Chain A
Amino acid sequence: MNEGPIRADRVITDGAAGLITRVEELAYELKIGEVMTSPAKTVTPDMRMSDVLALFRDAKVSGAPVMANGELVGIVSIADLIRALQENNTAAAVSEYMTMQVTTLEAGSPVIEALKLFTATRVGRLPVVDQAGHLVGIITKGDITRGVLRALEYDYQEEEVRKYRARHLFEDIVSDRTSLTLRYKIKQGDFAHGGNASSHIKRALVRLGASPQIARRCGIAIYEAEMNLIIHTTNGGAVRVEIEPHQIVMETIDDGPGIEDIDLAMTPGYSTAPDSVRELGFGAGMGLKNIQRCVDDMYLDSTVGRGTRLEMRIFLKPDEQLGDSSSPADRAGRNGGASQ
């Protein structure tokens, strides 16, 4: 088993890695200081156990650090209180019943350190200290659960807020015809970044309220077109996407070399791609045909020596319109939302 911290930028190769979930990741990302209860209710060694009982009842806590002159000297829990009650000795001082050997956690440590200690020691709560060793709070398993749930909800809400803002773009800006234009420069031969523009475009469409089907069709078409710029052009080219509530127009433009025979280029299986490109899984002669299948309209203009312009249009049906609060993606968000 891997005992070290697991981070997103680290390669997980051991068998146990298959079992890592977002919750487990959060155990490493969240700090104890972010989830602990602070300040902690504290008691002093000379207080009576009956005072502890009153505190536990009123503050609804089940344990408290014992402080003397600003120093942590012990911890008293509900189990200690029960012992005092059994012995009919609630008049006794806290110092008689408290646990003196207290393990502490640092506020800056990841939550997993707390989980490890809870598992190993079976205690219910642990005092949290700062780097100088001063008490700053207390942590229970309940604090961890609440902290993780809050973080999960935040992950979800962050993307939802972005979607919400983007979706209202078309509603909030009034004009006779509003459109949003995205432009990307594509370098010839830049396979390492191939698909980055398409990835941004697909995400933008989802945030603007496009249904998964529309986002997928646009994503596939523009990705094939982007790869064509990388593979076939002399100097690279440009991707331009114009988004309107009722349609999406995607376009790639380059300045050469141009396509000699467009009909031949459209023939499934015909390709002029070199082997180096085929090794990357492209150049099978399916690109243009595939684009045509994904979009509603496709125009291809090309002049040898001048360049190529490919235009792809997707028309959105009334119930697929972007920026419309009744779009399918919005309905899915409302019905399947984790915050419901």
Chain B
Amino acid sequence: MELKQIIQLVEGEVLTSGFDINRPVRGGCGADLMSDVLAYIGPGALLLTGLCSAQVVRTAQMADVAAIVFVRGKRPSLDTIALANQERIPLITSAHGMFELCGRLHQAGLHSLETPA
């Protein structure tokens, strides 16, 4: 699925610039624990999270996350947005909650890239 389609599905607002909206996203994962992201997701995933510290961007960079969606209208600080711009990791915020967004994306054909423990 392409990033632009995801942005539409989550009714997201894009917080960063300079990335390719046609970038393909291989699957998704939802997590608030960054260690879970580091341990249990495959590369190229969309990350849905309620956490919005700079560590989310660093975690995304290490785990090769394709893009980050902040759920329930959360917004990271300007420093975090600047870091994401620098590392070219797209940040999107959506007013909807985690369950709703995971459901929408899964139903639209975005598969889980989470691996069971």
Interface residues, chain A, with chain B CB atoms under 8 Å away:
6, 8-13, 15, 17-22, 25, 191-192, 194-196, 198-199, 202, 212, 216, 219-220, 223-224, 227, 280-282, 284-287, 289-290, 293
Contacts and interface: CB of A to CB of B under 8 A. Distances in A.
B4 interface: yes
A223 B14 contact: no
Given A12-B17, A13-B13, 9 more contacts: A191-B54, A191-B55, A212-B43, A216-B63, A223-B38, A223-B62, A280-B34, A286-B33, A290-B39
Interface in B30-65: 32-36, 38-39, 43, 49, 51, 53-56, 58-59, 61-64
B5 to A, nearest CB: 11
A192 B54 contact: yes
Interface residues of B, number: 38
Given A17-B17, A280-B53, A195 B58 contact: yes
Contact of A22 (B18, B43, B81, B85): B18
Interface in B79-104: 79, 81-82, 85, 87
A18 B62 contact: no
A223 B64 contact: no
A265 B117 CA distance: 18
Contact of A20 (B17, B39, B55, B61): B17
What are the nearest 8 A-B pairs in CB distance? A195-B58, A281-B34, A286-B35, A219-B62, A18-B14, A290-B39, A223-B62, A281-B51
B112 interface: no
Nearest to B117: A268
Contacts of A9: 82, 85
Contact of A282 (B35, B63, B82): B35
B16 A12 contact: yes
Interface of B: 4, 7, 12-21, 32-36, 38-39, 43, 49, 51, 53-56, 58-59, 61-64, 78-79, 81-82, 85, 87
Nearest to A218: B62
A21 B21 contact: yes
A286 B35 CA distance: 6
Contact of B13 (A10, A15, A192, A289): A15
B32 A199 contact: no
Contact of B32 (A6, A8, A212, A281): A281
B62 A290 contact: no
